[in-house]
Amino acid sequence: MHLLRRACHAAALLLASTICVRPSLVRAQSSALTGALPLDLRVGCGASTPYGGDIAPPSPTQVTRSYWFVVEHPIAQFISLHFAEFNLPKDDVVVIRATKPDDSETTQLRYRGSDKSGAFFSMPLFTKSVTIELYTSGEREGMKASECVGFVVDEFRFLAQESVLGNSTKEEICGGGDDSNEAACFRGQPQIYRRAKPIARLLTQKGRKSFFCSAWLVGCEGHMLTNHHCISNDDEAINTVFEFGGEGDTCDVKCNRAFGCRSKQRFTGRLIAADEELDYALIKLDVNPVDEYGFLQMRESGAELSERIYIPQHPSGWGKRVAVKTDDGEFGQVVSLTRGGCAVDQVAYYLDTRGGSSGSPVIGWRDHTVVALHHCGPCPNTAINMNKIVPHLRARFLLPECSLSSDGPDCQCSANI
């Protein structure tokens, strides 16, 4: 692994009171196995690169770009920076954007001193090169004289792993080929397509790697349900991106690649509850998107043996797919309610899944409610029965509003009535 870093300081030609830092370039050429590389980017706090806010701008109202830095990787799927420290005056801002003006990634991230502090991952930008810019005002209002002003970036992530699970428990294709289909292929079956809309593709930061998972809106208040092995604590929840609408416009559009058919609908949230034994995590999104994507409801009695089921999912971080039929051309069904392996008394089926499908809903055909939470393999793939998860949430007074099938399909949040 080689990291090449160059930085230089130059006095500004027009604004002699401002320090300019010419771009530094990090070219990372390895660590494809982990999809992460260390950085040592320090601005302020005694670092060799001074904080731009130490130099007053020409006028009190002017915000000046005092620093910029480029990070890139030739095989990056995305770039997400880890800020180990972040402490800026309230009006100063760090901007992260794609380096090339004609890049397809047009999102610009803005982290202000007034709304961010401490350690966090930046939202991923889907590009191979990003530019980090620091804009400073010279004001220190609200900052203590003893406080260290600046930021530290100690790592960046650029590739996601297909599955959190080890090979022995990884979800898999059952039979000779993948019999799931692009979500758009079910537009002519509105009962299925409607239940696929609340499914999100997750990019979560766990340990030293980034992983794909799936999750779904449960109830009308903006809650997401996924697996505990996808999101285990609040730090992982805060640093997870929930992407809705990641699918093709038509059945002919192929999204079978990592981050295939991306959308701009990305959200963050906070952990409400998690249980390792039942392998679930309940998250509340910072913004409630149910008006656009709808929500699913859980069947309290859980799955029934031999009932027909289907699974909307984001396998391998691909665009959204739905598994309806098995390798023999038959409709998927529950083949066991007592399957062992990853847990006791699991719901089992031969519908196709992959790493990244973890957290998907197993939906009963007869009433289109969620009967189990998909979480494990190998074939037959398995899920945790909803007749275990629902009582666990109820006992903790954590059931989201309108989250049960008994609430009725037309249930509305009390806040909207």
Residue 26 has pLDDT above 50, yes or no: no
**pLDDT confidence band for 51 (50 / 70 / 90):** confident
Percent of the chain with pLDDT over 70: 85
pLDDT recorded at residue 6 = 32
pLDDT category of residue 83 using cuts at 50, 70 and 90: very high
pLDDT at residue 144, as a whole number = 58
Please check whether residue 116 is in contact with residue 194, taking contact to mean a CB–CB distance below 8 angstroms: no
Determine the straight-line distance between the first and last CA of the chain, rounded to whole angstroms.
58
Q: What residue segments make up the domains of the chain, in order of their start?
A: 8-158, 167-407
User: Which of 42, 38, 123, 124 lies closest to 78, judged by CA?
Assistant: 124
**CB atoms < 10 A from the CB of 76, how many?**
22
| 25-27 and 64-72 strand pairing | parallel
d(CA 33, CA 29): 12
- For the domain bounded by 8-158, which CATH number is listed? 2.60.120.290
What tens digit of pLDDT does each residue of 131-145 get? 999 998 877 666 655
Burial class, 405, CB count within 10 angstroms (exposed 0-12 / middle 13-18 / buried 19+): buried
Instruction: Decide if pLDDT at 53 tops 80.
Output: no
pLDDT band at 20 (very low <50, low <70, confident <90, very high): very low
Of 2.40.10.120, 2.70.70.10, 2.60.40.10, 3.30.230.10, which CATH number belongs to 167-407? Answer: 2.40.10.120
**415 or 24: which leads in pLDDT:** 415
Mean pLDDT over residues 338-354, rounded? 96
Give the mean pLDDT of the chain.
88
If you write DSSP's letter for every residue of 304-317 in order, what string do you get? -TT-BEEEEE-GGG
One DSSP character per residue, 374-411 reads EEE-SSSEEEEEHHHHHHHHHHTT-PPTT-BGGG-TT-
Span 247-270, mean pLDDT? Answer: 96
For the stretch 159-206, pLDDT in tens is: 999 877 665 566 789 988 899 999 999 999 999 999 999 999 999 999
**CA–CA distance, 276 with 399 (Å, rounded to integer):** 18
